[in-house]
Amino acid sequence: MVPSCIKVAMLAAVVALASADCPPYWTAYMDKCLQIFNKPMTWDEAEDFCMGYSTCEGNQVGHLASITDAGVNNFIVRYKKMIEVAGEPAAKVWIGLNDLTMEGLFEWTSGVNVTYTNWEMGQPNNGQGQENCVALPGLNTIDQWDDTNCVQALPFVCELPGVDPNAQQMVCPIF
């Protein structure tokens, strides 16, 4: 059993990698603000929830997380594992990759180009013709992606654009 003070220190180490200003309870990585929400939702519900966050000017909205390179993937995996170690359940989490528009053509909800993938062996397999959304696996599994049925209720990772700490801009929920 890991003592609570060590769990907090490990989570703080992940948060210390910040390089953008983020709202309270969000974690910065490079130019992104990330938050894992442990409220299981379908993929569509989770994306709608993430889009409920926006810059105050309203010109940029949140989305399910886009994993554009190995660095982002590894950061989210470490962040997720730190939360799991701190007592949250080990579960898959939704990310923003999907092939809802055209089978086999994956795209990010944020609109960024798909330049990096990290599929588990044999994935994506569109199991039973119904797996069009992508999740990161739970604890004690490999850290590669799995296409999953979009109606499954899972925790999820939201992403907001990072705010320049020198700008007088804030990120506000728009519920």
Could you report the per-residue pLDDT of 1-23, keeping only the tens digit for each?
444 444 433 444 444 444 567 88
In this predicted structure, what is the pLDDT of residue 4?
43
In this predicted structure, what is the pLDDT of residue 81?
83
Exposure string of 57-66, with b = 16+ CB inside 10 Å and e = fewer, is: eeeebbbbbb
> Is residue 127 a contact partner of residue 71, using CB atoms and an 8 Å limit?
no
Residues of the chain with pLDDT under 50: 1-18, 169, 174-175
In this predicted structure, what is the pLDDT of residue 164?
59
Q: Which residue has the tokens 């983020």?
A: 22
Question: pTM, whole model, 2 decimals?
Answer: 0.80
In this predicted structure, what is the pLDDT of residue 5?
41
Look at residues 116, 36, 10 and name the one whose alpha carbon lies nearest to residue 69. 116
Architecture of domain 4-173: Roll (3.10)
Contacts of 36 (CB under 8 A, 6+ apart): 79, 80, 83, 93, 155, 156, 157
Torsion of CA 10, 16, 20, 21, to 10 degrees: 80
The H or E element that residue 44 is part of is: helix 43-50
